[in-house]
């Protein structure tokens, strides 16, 4: 099971309590990626947002900077909001990243749970579904590295255009991020792409029907089996109590801010502890606790990969650095041991 980490470049606070400048946060993200690479994690993901509380709006540029400061870790988006982007430019940017990183790039395409990018780039939210459908179709044809022919209603037609640069020796590694819609699962499988399940609430076990639907649809469509990844928030500290106490105020502030925007009621300690228990969607605790929770994903969902979203609102940079270090140096080897024991017991 491959383990990685990801961030949206959440803006933490300076010593005086004011939000840090976006420029400082972006530099911090590069430092965090260097730690992830040093402790041997498989992947580092950078998400895209277009609002004050997140610093990253151009993940591919940040990842290119990280490529020059790291050696082995895979570099991906988490996610690229394809609906409000140009699929040709998405391919070109990540094909370029793949070249400069010596083959370490991957892209995760999604529709995005935040919608700020739609009015920002001149798209109508009433076209939410059509934009993703048509742009994914274009992207898939571009990714083939063959001449592209396409007709639709959301952009001009394409007639035999080639798109450059090409990727060396293979197609550009591409995943589709899914939040829990059966239609999205079926679409991902129909294209034959690996899938990322974004599990940010509820019990991971309840996503098992989506994992089963994905694999069944792949088989029915005559596609090769593909990897399944899980993406969830998490935080690792030396003890369970320390992790729970350090993460809570930052989780609560972010949860209630976004909740107020979306019409949710306020959260409290009870909701937090339920999400952080052994059946919840928050992977918080000591290395042993987090490792056990990650390893269970192999049995419940057949997950091939887990990526922990380690940033959370104003969680301090120093604590994020320590969490990444523990995740790579303590959690990852413990997960490997647990899965080896599970395999030996069969």
Q: State yes or no: pLDDT of 311 exceeds 90.
A: yes
For the chain, give the percent of residues with pLDDT over 90.
95
pLDDT of residue 30: 98
Other C-beta atoms within 10 Å of 65: how many?
14
For residue 162, is the peptide bond before it cis, meaning its omega torsion is within 30 degrees of 0? no
Separation of alpha carbons 192 and 170, rounded Å: 15
Evaluate the omega torsion of the peptide bond into residue 94 and state whether it is cis, within 30 degrees of 0.
no
- Estimate to the nearest angstrom the gap between the alpha carbon of 193 and the chain centroid: 15
pLDDT band at 28 (very low <50, low <70, confident <90, very high): very high
| Contact assessment for residue 103 and residue 168, using Cβ atoms and an 8 Å cutoff | yes
Please tell me the total number of residues recorded for the chain in this structure: 346
Alpha carbon distance, N-terminus to C-terminus of the chain:
17
- Hey, what domains does the chain have and what are their CATH numbers? 2-345 (3.20.20.30)
- Band of the pLDDT at 346, cuts 50, 70, 90? confident
- The answer for residues whose C-beta is within 8 angstroms of residue 85's C-beta and 6 or more apart is 117, 121, 135
CB 174 within 8 A of CB 109: yes
Rounded average pLDDT over 234-246: 98
pLDDT at res. 112: 77
pLDDT digits (tens, 9 = 90+) for 145-159: 999 999 999 999 999
Query: How far from 40 is each of 43, 59, 84, 207, CA to CA, in Å?
Result: 9, 21, 34, 29
Q: Which of 328, 331, 330, 310 is nearest to 320 (CA)?
A: 310
Say if residues 40 and 327 touch (Cβ distance below 8 Å): no
Q: For 212-229, how does the pLDDT look when each residue is reduced to its tens digit (9 = 90+)? A: 999 999 999 999 999 999
Tally Cβ neighbours within 10 Å of residue 215.
17
Burial grade of 224 (CB within 10 A; 0-12, 13-18, 19 or more): exposed
Task: Specify the pLDDT at position 324.
Answer: 98
Q: Name the pLDDT band for 58 (thresholds 50, 70, 90).
A: very high
Query: What pLDDT was estimated at residue 129?
Result: 92
Average pLDDT over residues 197-210: 95
- What rounded mean pLDDT belongs to the chain? 96
Residue 113 has pLDDT above 80, yes or no: no
| Average pLDDT over every residue of 64-75 | 98
- Residue 342: pLDDT over 90: no
Give the pLDDT of residue 180.
79
CA distance 322 to 304: 25
Q: What is the pTM of this model?
A: 0.96
Q: Which pLDDT band holds residue 343 (cuts at 50, 70, 90)?
A: confident
Is it the case that residue 106 has pLDDT exceeding 90?
A: yes
pLDDT digits 0-9 by tens, 31-49: 999 999 999 999 999 999 9
Whether 339 shows a pLDDT value over 80: the answer reads yes
Q: In this structure, what are the phi and psi dihedrals at residue 131, rounded to the nearest 5 degrees?
A: -60, -45
Contact indicator for 303, 339 with CB cutoff of 8 Å: no
Q: What is the average pLDDT across 327-335?
A: 98
Q: Is the pLDDT of residue 242 over 80?
A: yes
């Amino acid at each position: 099971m491959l383990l990685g980490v990801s961030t949206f470049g959440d803006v933490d606070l300076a010593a005086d309590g004011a939000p840090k400048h976006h420029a400082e946060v972006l530099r911090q993200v590069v430092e965090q990626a260097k730690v992830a690479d040093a402790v041997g994690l498989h992947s580092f993901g950078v998400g895209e947002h277009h609002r004050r509380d997140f610093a990253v709006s151009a993940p591919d540029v940040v990842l290119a900077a990280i490529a020059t400061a790291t050696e082995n870790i895979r570099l991906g988006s988490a996610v690229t909001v394809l609906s409000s982007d140009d699929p040709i430019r998405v391919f070109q940017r990540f094909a370029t990243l793949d070249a400069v990183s010596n083959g370490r790039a991957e892209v995760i395409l999604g529709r995005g749970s935040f919608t700020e990018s739609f009015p920002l780039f001149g798209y109508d939210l009433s076209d939410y579904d059509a934009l993703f459908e048509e742009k994914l179709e274009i992207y898939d044809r571009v990714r083939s590295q063959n001449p592209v022919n396409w007709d639709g209603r959301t952009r001009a037609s394409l007639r035999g255009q080639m798109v450059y640069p090409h990727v060396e020796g293979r197609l550009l590694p591409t995943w589709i991020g899914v939040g829990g819609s059966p239609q999205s699962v079926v679409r991902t499988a129909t294209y034959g792409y690996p899938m990322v399940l974004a599990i940010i609430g509820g019990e991971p076990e309840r996503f098992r029907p989506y994992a089963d639907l994905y694999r069944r649809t792949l088989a029915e469509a005559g596609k090769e089996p593909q990897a399944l990844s899980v993406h969830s928030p998490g935080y690792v500290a030396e003890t369970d109590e320390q992790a729970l106490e350090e993460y809570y105020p930052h989780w609560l502030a972010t949860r209630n801010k976004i909740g107020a925007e979306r019409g949710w009621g306020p959260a409290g300690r009870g909701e937090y502890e339920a999400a952080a228990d052994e059946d919840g969607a928050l992977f918080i605790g000591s290395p042993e606790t987090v490792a056990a929770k990650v390893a269970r994903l192999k049995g419940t969902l057949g997950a091939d990969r887990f990526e922990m979203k380690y940033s959370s609102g104003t969680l301090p940079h120093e604590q994020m650095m320590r969490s990444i270090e523990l995740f790579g140096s303590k959690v990852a080897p413990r997960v490997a041991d647990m899965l080896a024991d599970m395999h030996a017991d069969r």
